[in-house]
């Protein structure tokens, strides 16, 4: 891999920032909010930010860059596709549970649904995401689509995947801001109480995680090599770091 140390630095940084975001979201809901529960109350709402950060942000981000990890290049492309699809499906399941938690909370408290820009952008991502997953599985996992069609659709798959991921980051930042404005009364958000500072930091971490994932995903030098090269790898002792990358993963199928 070209620039392997740089890749490693970006990947470790993204993982650390992602895991710290999850830890900060958890400590927010446990320490400053009402904890976690499934009773139609505030504790049920709290699953919403937590599961969104774990699933729709962290797992989705890892799923996006999973092909690029050189230590996975010994695995077959089919296996990596299954892992890629599996992580996305898990992220989607967590996102759905998270949205159900807000709807139940809103209905129990007679709060209207779907009035904010956050909820519109968020729901659009939640609806587009399974379409992307189903299309991805139909075109790339089930071996019926001709290779030329797979290759032709790959730029669209990459573009829409990154677009959904960036939309989710944007929705999370809006959701965080909204929640702080709604719930911090005395002292208010504008007075910068410790909770506000912590959650602002969470927003910065989420934005940084998004930026790192998009950077890693858009470096062509860090792409997984062609399948034949990956096969050679599993048959001899050449390390992935020694492989010169730069081939287009659209042709690997």
Burial status of residue 126 (CB atoms within 10 A of its CB: 0-12, 13-18, 19 or more): buried
**By CB under 6 A, how many residues form the interface with ligand HEM?**
25
Structural tokens at position 168: 């989710």
How many distinct helices (H) and strands (E) make up the chain? 9, 0
Q: Nearest distance from residue 105's CB to ligand HEM, in Å?
A: 8
For residues 85 and 141, the answer to whether their CB atoms sit within 8 Å is yes
Interface segment toward ligand HEM; rule CB under 6 A; list 11-19, 84-92, 96-104, 219-227: 96-104
The binder of ligand HEM chosen from 69, 168, 233, 249 (CB under 6 A) = 168
For position 54 contacting ligand HEM by CB under 6 A, the verdict is no
Compare residues 106 and 157 and give the one whose CB is closer to ligand HEM: 106
For position 49 contacting ligand HEM by CB under 6 A, the verdict is yes
Helix axes of 194-217 and 147-183: crossing angle, nearest 10 degrees: 170
The number of beta carbons lying within 10 Å of the beta carbon of residue 39 is 11
For position 52 contacting ligand HEM by CB under 6 A, the verdict is yes
The binder of ligand HEM chosen from 77, 81, 88, 118 (CB under 6 A) = 118
Compare residues 100 and 141 and give the one whose CB is closer to ligand HEM: 100
Is 32 part of any known ligand binding site?
Answer: no
Helix axes of 77-108 and 117-136: crossing angle, nearest 10 degrees: 150
Q: Which residue is listed with tokens 């909204």?
A: 178
Is 88 part of any known ligand binding site?
Answer: no
For position 175 contacting ligand HEM by CB under 6 A, the verdict is yes
Which positions from 211 to 250 touch ligand HEM by CB under 6 A, shown as an x/- string? ----------------------------------------
For position 56 contacting ligand HEM by CB under 6 A, the verdict is yes
For residues 103 and 34, the answer to whether their CB atoms sit within 8 Å is no
């Amino acid at each position: 891999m070209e620039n392997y140390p740089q890749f490693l630095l970006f990947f470790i940084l993204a993982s650390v920032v992602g895991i710290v975001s999850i830890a900060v979201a958890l400590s927010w809901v446990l320490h400053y909010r009402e904890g976690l529960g499934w009773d139609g109350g505030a504790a049920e709402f709290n699953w919403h930010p937590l599961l969104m950060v774990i699933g729709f942000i962290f797992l989705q981000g890892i799923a996006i860059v999973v092909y690029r990890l050189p230590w996975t290049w010994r695995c077959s492309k089919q296996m990596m596709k299954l892992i890629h699809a599996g992580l996305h499906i898990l992220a989607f399941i967590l996102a759905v549970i998270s949205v159900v938690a807000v709807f139940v909370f809103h209905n129990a408290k007679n709060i209207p649904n779907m009035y904010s820009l956050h909820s519109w952008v968020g729901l659009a991502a939640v609806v587009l995401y399974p379409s992307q997953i189903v299309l991805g599985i139909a075109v790339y996992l089930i071996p019926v689509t001709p290779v030329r069609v797979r290759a032709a659709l790959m730029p669209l798959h990459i573009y829409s995947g990154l677009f959904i991921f960036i939309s989710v980051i944007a929705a999370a930042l809006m959701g965080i801001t909204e929640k702080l404005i709604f719930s911090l009364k005395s002292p208010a958000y504008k007075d910068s109480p410790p909770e506000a500072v912590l959650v602002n930091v969470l927003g910065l971490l989420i934005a940084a995680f998004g930026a790192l994932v998009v950077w890693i995903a858009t470096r062509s030098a860090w792409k997984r090599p062609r399948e034949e090269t990956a096969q050679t790898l599993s048959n001899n002792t050449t390390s992935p770091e020694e492989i010169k990358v730069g081939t287009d993963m659209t042709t690997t199928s």
